[in-house]
Amino acid sequence: MKPGKELSVHLQAHRSSTMALILTVFVMLMLLSLDALAQLNMDRINPNNPDNRQDNVNVQQQPFRMIDNIWWVGHSEVGSLLIISEEGHFLIDSTAEHDVHWVVENIISAGFRLEDIKYILNTHTHHEHMSGIPKLQKLLPHATIVASKESAEVMGTGGKTDFRYMMDGNRDHLFEPFQVDRIIGHQEQLTLGDVTLMAHITPGHTEGTTTWTLDVEEGGKTYNAVMFGGISASGVDRAPLLNNPFYPNIKEDYEFSLKYLANLECDVFLTYRAPTINLHEKLARLEQGDYQVNPFVDPEGCELYLDFYEKRFRTQLQEEGAAAQ
């Protein structure tokens, strides 16, 4: 049995010590100056929605084990995943700099030690998903920050080389610059103990978007878990697919990524937004025991996700082509 499966049974016994740890970390963060259910639908991904759209407005979400060694330690809307092993843990996405303290609190309240986090990874360089990394870097100097080459370049400029910022100059896209410790390439792996994650560089949403996969076990079966890095075309006002001087290869990158991801085995549907994966509905089923197979085993969700954004991409491409004639 991998670490974490027994933790939920013992959390009650450790509540008082956990709360003390949470308060300690909160003080540390201050000293370091660390500051509803929805299916995929057109309203959710309206390109005119600002960055404070409803699915970026968070409240604190209690951490929980999703499946096997994967824990949700993010918020009510924007996600962060902790993947645990006997030799240390992976953290995927930090969430935004103003919400990252909740991620830290959740990791501790779930019974894990901050010093056991060995790798901090990310899906893509939009600030609501990774602008908390500089704070984690100060709090967890032992952890290795890993990113794709293209993501690392944007991180190093604090978002100034993000094609969205170059297009519109919106300073809401910017964040505190930071340097990564390691560049990871397409289909490279990271291993801690008996857990191996593979990086799949799937550009389009950003130039360095990274999808992560790993095998998990549940009920005596092995499943392929996919943490999608993002595949939505953002709309012509934010990311034209034709004649985009700030991202000339965006159309080709989307076409590559959509085809590549469609051929990727996906059993456990994961991504960085709670509504997209119906997080709260699935959590309710977990808590009620209302399932024969873990609800996060959702290959149909993987297919819906890719099909939806494939159609959105093709529609935008068609509209831009017609407008250019």
Query: Rounded to two decimals, what is the model's pTM?
Result: 0.85
Q: What is the pLDDT of residues 178-226, one digit of tens each?
A: 999 999 999 999 999 999 999 999 999 999 999 999 999 999 999 999 9
Sign of the torsion formed by the C-alpha atoms of 155, 158, 160 and 162:
positive
pLDDT at position 39 = 39
Q: Is the pLDDT of residue 58 over 50?
A: yes
Give the pLDDT band of residue 237 (cuts 50, 70, 90).
low
Do residues 222 and 298 touch, judged by C-beta distance below 8 A? no
Give the pLDDT band of residue 55 (cuts 50, 70, 90).
low
Question: Is 7-324 in CATH node 3.60.15.10?
Answer: yes
**Measured CA distances, 180 to 134, 157, 227 (Å):** 10, 12, 20
Closest C-alpha to 64, from 128, 4, 19, 136: 4
Q: Is the pLDDT of residue 47 over 70?
A: no
Helix (H) or strand (E) run with residue 133 in it: helix 133-139
DSSP code at position 93: -
pLDDT at position 44 = 36
Give the pLDDT band of residue 239 (cuts 50, 70, 90).
confident
Give the pLDDT band of residue 290 (cuts 50, 70, 90).
confident
93: tokens are 């996405």
Q: What is the DSSP string of 235-288?
A: -TTT--SSS-TTSTTHHHHHHHHHHHHHTS--SEEE-SBTTTTTHHHHHHHHHH
Give the pLDDT band of residue 18 (cuts 50, 70, 90).
very low
274: tokens are 């709670």
| Secondary structure percentages of the chain, helix, strand, coil, to 5 | 35, 20, 45
Do residues 298 and 277 touch, judged by C-beta distance below 8 A? yes
Percent of the chain topping pLDDT 70: 83
